[in-house]
Structure 1
Amino acid sequence: MCLLCHVSVARAADNAASLHDRYESSVQQLNHSPFRRRLYLESIESASMLKGDIYSVLDHPFAVVDGALHNGPEAPANWCDVLILHLNIKYCHAAIGGNGTILEVNLGKKVEQELVDTYRLQFHYRAIPSPTTEYFGVELRADNGPLSTKDYLIVLEAIPVEGNRTFLHLTYSYSYGLAGRIAMRTYLATIGSGKVGFTAIGKVASTGDSKYVGGIRGLIERNTMRYYLAIDAYLSALSSPPGKQLERRLTNWFNATEQYPRQLHEIERPAYMQMKFKEYQRQLAAG
């Protein structure tokens, strides 16, 4: 008897019930979202940890989302096609070994880089066992990252909802030590100064415009949103012919980020498309 398996299944049942409850209690919040899509975002900043959570209704059938990112044989490789859309992801390769499925992911800057100048994380990919076919959960977990960051975690869970759509919960979090705290403060004091997240914390007195959270909490909100938009961009491109899907994914992601220029604009479209085409070809060649 596999005790851990039973524990995992029981946890998945609890997660499924919690996600249903969250959806039922969030309908009004989702319907009146400021994001121009049925979505809301929450974030937490502590002395040593950052966490972002997004809850959203996707206009994709649950079976499509499940097959692409959880239950299908190509799901781990599909995650690489999702992650590479993010500006800071420079490479991703899924490999099955003695320790299960590993996603080798390189983090870098928002410009073209050689892989030797980036940092490689190893994400352990795990599909959470579930007692029902109407819930799935996937975890990507990496123990260590650059500059004393650690405990990287990406969790995606989903359930079907009315209208042949999918209610999704995405979590992105990591912990950091002194070196990581110093690096983030340096970034926020230089090229990251003036950058904000999505949580409104008041009004600008002179203009009446919304004032948004900044600093480290703004950082986690921006990246959580980028990963969410990558998931949606990938799923939206699945209906295109195979030879057109990469261009469609890139276009979808860039267009979606440009809906939030105050938070997410970093690069012009031609530069993004050129950089990502090169990175994707490098990913294919190395894989």
Structure 2
Amino acid sequence: MMTVSGKRHAVVLILTVLALIGACPGLFAEEIGNAARLRGKHASLAEQLSHNPFQRQLFLKSTETESTLTGDIYAAVDYPFASVNGTLNEPAQGPANWCEVLILHLNVKYCHASASGNGAHLTVNLGRKVEEKLSSTYRVQFNYRTVATGPEYFQVNLDADTGPMSTRDYRIVLEATSIGASRTFLHLTYSYSYGTAGRMAMKAYLATLGRGKIGFTTARDPSTERTEYIGGVRGLLERNTMRYYLAIDTYLSTLSVPSDKRLDQRLATWFDATEQYSRQLHEVDRDAYISMKHNEYQRQQTMQ
């Protein structure tokens, strides 16, 4: 039987919750709506998530317009939502944790999180898939912004006005919702825009270093009537979208690893994951990648 003090505590708790809901009903409704929307997407993709060439519950798509490229990955992962939300969407450590994610990518040479009156920022240097001085790389300034956060849904955005090869409007967006006691459904979007100069720069890359590289989507080649993997700018986009996703997945999978062993485990895990799709993602051998990333990670810690 509840005591008088217990009843008072329950009444206060109920009144507090009602006050919060009354103060910001739109925010609660929006979170519930976004969680329902994302769970609906999970249900609609059930067949694609279970039967695909990725050997994991993952669906990838890409779109190309006259001036914008967008890659989307939807994935069901075996990590509790609270863990994902508490590391990649955490106000104090979230930006720094994203640097731990991004540095795994071959083209990310440096990442540093900082804060100012305008919010949190990530300073990211992008370069080639070999070791190089930071002075030879391209610096991108991302704004880190939590769009929504709650016990069932979150969304975090990384936005940058300009990027390499005359590209602009870079966006990395991650949203997630719980789909069980220890499972989470992720949606990663990676996109950027480009004008005439950017189109010419990417065309030059695809004619040289990017020649013959492919993405993950298949399409029928009208000249041969055969189904082939796409190439070009969409192939480029899909490769990088997958690399960023695998970096997120690797980061989450190693949270329980002791801190002194975490970097080695992450480098090995990310490289092995990319080698599952070696036709699209293989660039360097394992020893070269691990050595390069050890050096870049050390530089990231010392050049703050």
With structure 1 as the length reference, what TM-score do the two structures score? 0.92
Give the greater-gyration-radius structure (CA): 2
**CA apart distance, 1:211:** 1.5
Match of 1:167 in 2: 185
- Of 290, 293, 299, the residue aligned with 1:273 is 290
Moved over 2 A (4+): 5-17, 202-206
Q: Report how far residue 200 of structure 1 moved.
A: 1.4
Q: Secondary structure at the match of 2:89?
A: helix
Ranges in structure 2 where 5+ consecutive residues have no aligned partner: 1-23
Deviates more, 1:25-34 or 1:116-125: 25-34
The Cα shift of 1:67 comes to: 1.1
Residue 189 of structure 1 corresponds to which residue in structure 2?
207
Residue 55 of structure 1: which of 74, 86, 97 is its match?
Answer: 74
Structure 1, unpaired ranges of 5+: none
Deviation for aligned residue 1:72? 6.1
Corresponding residue of 1:133: 151
In the aligned structure 2, how far is the partner of 1:203 from the partner of 1:45? 17
- Work out whether residues 32 and 152 of structure 2, in 8 Å CA contact, stay in contact via their aligned partners in 1: no
Cα distance between partner residues in 2 of 1:102 and 1:203: 43
Of 211, 219, 227, 2:228 maps to 211
Contact 1:136 1:158 in 2 (8 A): yes
Report deviation, 1:26. 1.2
CA contact (8 A) 2:166 2:201 kept: no
Amino acid paired to 2:302 = A
> Which residue does 1:238 correspond to in 2?
255
Secondary structure in structure 2 of the residue aligned to 1:71: coil
Letter in 2 for 1:88: N
Identify the residue that residue 19 of structure 2 maps to in structure 1.
none
Quote how far apart the aligned CAs of 1:46 are. 1.2
Secondary structure class of the residue paired with 1:102: strand
Matches within 5 A, 1:14-33: 14-33=33-52
Answer yes or no: is the 8 Å Cα contact 2:190–2:241 preserved in 1: yes
Contact 2:114/2:120 (<8 A) preserved: yes
Pairs within 5 Å for 1:242-253:
242-253=259-270
RMSD, matched Cα = 2.0
How far apart, CA to CA, are the structure 2 residues paired with 1:20 and 1:86?
29
Superposed displacement of residue 18, structure 1: 1.6
C-alpha displacement at 1:108, in angstroms? Answer: 0.6
**What one-letter code is carried by the residue in structure 2 that aligns with 1:92?**
C
For normalisation by structure 2, the TM-score amounts to 0.87
Counterpart amino acid of 1:124?
N
Q: Report deviation, 1:203.
A: 8.2
Report the number of matched residues: 280
Whether the 8 Å CA contact 1:148–1:176 is kept in 2: the answer is yes
Q: Does the aligned pair in 1 maintain the 2:31–2:152 contact within 8 Å?
A: no
Amino acid at match of 2:134: L
1:256 aligns with 2:273: yes
Instruction: Sort the Cα spacing of 1:72 and 1:165 in 2 relative to 1 into closer, same or farther, 3 A.
Output: farther
Check whether the contact 2:125–2:137 (CA below 8 A) recurs between aligned residues.
yes
- What CA distance in whole angstroms lies between the structure 2 residues aligned with 1:264 and 1:242? 28
Residues 235-265 of structure 1 show CA distances to partners (whole Å, capped at 9, x for unaligned) of 1111111000011111110000000011000
The residue that corresponds to 1:45 in the other structure is 64
User: In 2, Cα distance between the equivalents of 1:187 and 1:32?
Assistant: 34
